[in-house]
Amino acid sequence: MNQVFIAGTACTAVREHYDRSLLDLALEALHGAVGSLDPSLIQALYVGNALGDTLSEQSQLGAYIAGAAGLNCEAVRVEAAGASGALALRQGYLAIASGQADVVVVLGVEKATDKLDAALQAALALGLDGELERALGLTLTGAWALLMQRYLHEYQLPATAFAPFAVNAHANGAGNRHALYRFAINAQKWANAGQIAEPLNMLDCSTVADGAAAVVLVSQRYAREIAQPIAIVGSATSSTNVALAQRPDLLWLEAAAASGNNALQQAKLKRDAINIIELSDPHGIAAALSLEALGYAERGHATQLAAEGVIAKDGALPLATAGGYKARGDVGGATGVYQVVELVAQLRGQAGANQIANAKTALAQCLGGVGATAVTHILQVAEV
């Protein structure tokens, strides 16, 4: 397997971009990442998107965006609900690792805010089991609420135990100019927030918004031309049953555990070698279950990890340093690419107010649906 390196990166601000189309956002991120690179060198474009055909009424996003960008190359849309962007990144990684390409672009894009909430919730629920869950009225937020309710019962915790996840995300989002919400909150404000899907309240639920992010991946042949090359040293994906009722253990994200372990094994790293982490954290329960699946906390103890400040910027395992889903905004299928753009900025020392000192190795994990798909990438400062 050939080594894979990240060259250019770019992202749009996460906003309710009512005056811009999906294509506008995609082209801004793509051109920003490609920069001065000769477009004729690009051999493939992989587009991660979950909702384009349902909300933007546009399929064939690979060809659609490649044509508008003037690219004459393989162009493919990749879909895996919220993990679409991360899975697109894996496809780009595999193209270079296998020797099939030397230069590819991975783009994550989502345009969701032009539709009323009922249409948006119905589209997001496509990541659930259509017959066993969606047809009966379950929403994606409702599914996570069921898991949180079970977690609180199983481990005898109050809902406020999850507040530190949102507090941490907002503290970091305040320092990210691309974030949707650039303000801090405290535990009391979290506790006073109105309910959305009990026990999930308004400040424990991310806001779906619009945005696009892109990265250029290159082989070692071109890596020598990069000022600060970042290597993808681990890449893995796994899946499990989509329907919660078909899982043997509701509070164990099997795909997240398998994907994370496989990526670490490929990178030949132990989990304590990771300096900074990005997870699917639209709700505190999602972050907690992911931390437990990855082995950073014993089952039932992830909220304690957050309460002790381990996930803070100055903690042992900084999480959501650009605001995560909660403050940066939930960009659906584009999330996995946003995570990597944000982590590359950290590893290059370009994260500004949110910079983590001496960050050399980072882990990004993105989930599709309620953890049915999990994609993990491990990034590391490289020398070529």
Rounded distance, CA 327 to CA 172, Å? 8
Range of the domain at 337: 133-203+231-381
Both 137 and 242 in one domain: the answer is yes
Both 245 and 217 in one domain: the answer is no
Each residue of 270-326: pLDDT tens digit? 999 999 999 999 999 999 999 999 999 999 999 999 999 999 999 999 999 999 999
Q: Identity (one letter) of the amino acid at 139?
A: T
Q: Which of 163, 190, 223 is the last residue of a domain?
A: 223
Tell me what the mean pLDDT of segment 198-208 comes to: 98
56 lies in some domain: yes
Beta carbons within 10 angstroms of residue 38's beta carbon: 8
Both 167 and 55 in one domain: the answer is no
User: How high is the pLDDT of residue 233?
Assistant: 98
276 lies in some domain: yes
Both 176 and 311 in one domain: the answer is yes
Both 87 and 218 in one domain: the answer is yes
**Cα–Cα–Cα angle for 81, 79, 331, rounded to 5 degrees:** 50
Both 47 and 109 in one domain: the answer is yes
**Is it the case that residue 227 has pLDDT exceeding 90?**
no
Burial (CB < 10 A; 0-12, 13-18, 19+), residue 26, is buried
**Is it the case that residue 222 has pLDDT exceeding 90?**
yes
The structure's pTM equals: 0.97
Tell me what the mean pLDDT of segment 181-203 comes to: 97
How is residue 351 annotated by DSSP?
A: -
For residue 230, the cross-strand partners are 6, 381
For the chain, what percentages of helix, strand and coil (3-state, to nearest 5) are there? 40, 20, 40
125 lies in some domain: no
Long-range CB contacts (within 8 A, 24+) of 132-136: 132/243, 132/245, 132/246, 133/243, 133/244
Tell me what the mean pLDDT of segment 372-381 comes to: 98
Helix extents (H) in the chain: 22-34, 52-55, 61-69, 84-97, 117-124, 140-155, 163-173, 187-192, 220-223, 254-267, 284-293, 302-307, 324-328, 335-347
Tally of structural domains, the chain: 2
Rounded distance, CA 6 to CA 229, Å? 6
Give the SS3 label for residue 143: helix
Pairing of strands 200-201, 195-197: antiparallel
